[in-house]
Chains A and B, each alone.
Chain A
Amino acid sequence: MKRPVLVTATTVLGLFLVLYAKPHQEPDRPAPAAAPSSRPSADGSADTSTGASPDAVSGRFTGDVVETRRGPVQVRITLAKSRLTEVDVLEGVHDEGPSAGAVPQLTQRALDAQSADIDAVSGATYTSQGYISSLQSALDRADV
């Protein structure tokens, strides 16, 4: 019983981990708009109230199929106004789950992580790193 619990945990963690990479809806690449806003502005805090996101992104984005030692994994994310609202596992690793029950939990963890104030997580598995990579590519595609 212990092992399935462990592997489900680490799979969920994989998605958790990804979110640290871009949790603040900042553009990945320095956007032209970032240049003026990165300087201390003369008019004080006027633009800080609007947040850093120049354009809110909505839609579904499918990540790459990522090969892991235990097989391919792939996720699809749903964004509403640049907020992650859903994570679907399109392809998972059978001996590690995610089981039907784990997917809602996984989504919830990912949503929780979005607001967690953590930059990185230590202690990932290779397979969860596969999920990370797929989710990262979906986020790249969404350009959030």
Chain B
Amino acid sequence: MSERHRLCHTEEVMGTVFSFDIRDPATSAIESALGDAVCWLHRVDAIFSTYRPGSQISRLARGELTVAECDAEVAEVLRLCRGAGHRSGGAFTASPGGRLDPSGMVKGWATERASRMLYAAGSRHHLVNGGGDIQARGGSAPGRPWRCGIADPWRGGEVAAVVSGRDLAVATSGTAERGHHILDPATGAPPTALVSITLVGRHLTEVDALATAAFVKGERARDWVASLPGVEAFALTADGRTWWTPGFAALGGTVNDRAGAAR
């Protein structure tokens, strides 16, 4: 049992809950950075919310603003969206359903940025959970990795797999994940092959956007993710199976042999 100090905080923002779990000895710099990160998340929400008609992203979508007139974060996120679009062969887009909506990028990017703010203030061991998408730095205690469960949508409260490691990013996309549907840009319809897919890597900005693209790709995601360096996947299919990419175990993944609905 660790005797290290621990600083926890939960914040409702972006239509979900962000939680911070800081395992470093508390310093005023870290506490201050936590406050700054929380304030910044609210600012990001105000800029990027597609639910607020007056947000910059809403005004940008209506042509009332140019990207240059928006805060710098807007150009940054749109650039990241274009990069994810290229990497995924168009399965990720900043305009699902034809309307500007970079929400599939914003949460993971903001979560990783919040983690960076803590790191810059001296926190080397923390976990930021942005509504189920996780950026962990360092370990959970000296010599101990972080352990992140992957929810099993078929069996309440149980985890389908556990990912263990240092400096982990874990993002899950699925039918149960969001208030709005993920749409396949190619068909305009929600993908149906997978119930959820979890991507594991180092940087949540990348991993979260690729998870959205992988969910769209369905069964094709298996080979696609396997071809991506430093990223692994674990999926639960609509017919109750599970699969994972060859490097999943090497990345600290352990699969619950009871996972999924069918044997």
Contact = CB atoms under 8 A, between A and B. Distances in A.
A122 B172 contact: yes
B247 interface: no
* Residue among A5, A13, A132 facing the most chain B CB atoms (10 A cut-off): A13
Contacts of A123: 132, 150-151, 153, 172, 174, 176-177, 196, 198
Contacts of B127: 119-120
B229 interface: no
A117 to B, nearest CB: 6
A30 interface: yes
Q: How large is the interface on B (under 10, 10 to 19, 20 to 34, 35 or more residues)?
A: 35 or more
A55 B247 CA distance: 45
Contacts of A16: 157
Contact of A126 (B16, B157, B163): B16
A114 B154 CA distance: 21
A66 interface: yes
Interface string B6-33: 1110101001110101000110000000
Contacts of A29: 7
A52 interface: yes
Contact of B5 (A24, A38, A51, A106): A38
Interface string A1-19: 0000111111111011000
Contact of B157 (A7, A15, A30, A122): A15
Given A112-B157, A120-B148, 14 more contacts: A6-B154, A10-B176, A16-B157, A30-B7, A52-B1, A118-B162, A120-B136, A121-B148, A122-B149, A124-B151, A125-B177, A126-B131, A126-B179, A132-B17
15 contacts: A6-B154, A8-B156, A13-B157, A102-B156, A105-B157, A121-B149, A121-B150, A122-B134, A122-B171, A123-B177, A123-B198, A129-B17, A130-B17, A133-B10, A133-B12
A91 B138 CA distance: 38
A66 B147 CA distance: 27
B155 interface: yes
A10 B156 contact: yes
Contact of B129 (A52, A116, A120): A120
B19 A113 contact: no
B159 interface: yes
A5 B70 CA distance: 43
A11 B16 CA distance: 14
Interface in B123-162: 127, 129, 131-134, 136, 140, 146-159, 162
B81 interface: no
B175 interface: yes
A5 B2 CA distance: 38
B87 interface: no
A120 B16 CA distance: 15
* Residue among A29, A110, A129, A136 facing the most chain B CB atoms (10 A cut-off): A129
B170 interface: yes
B3 interface: yes
Q: Considering the complex of A and B, which 3 residue pairs feature the smallest CB-CB distances, nearest first?
A: A109-B157, A123-B172, A12-B156
A52 B3 contact: yes
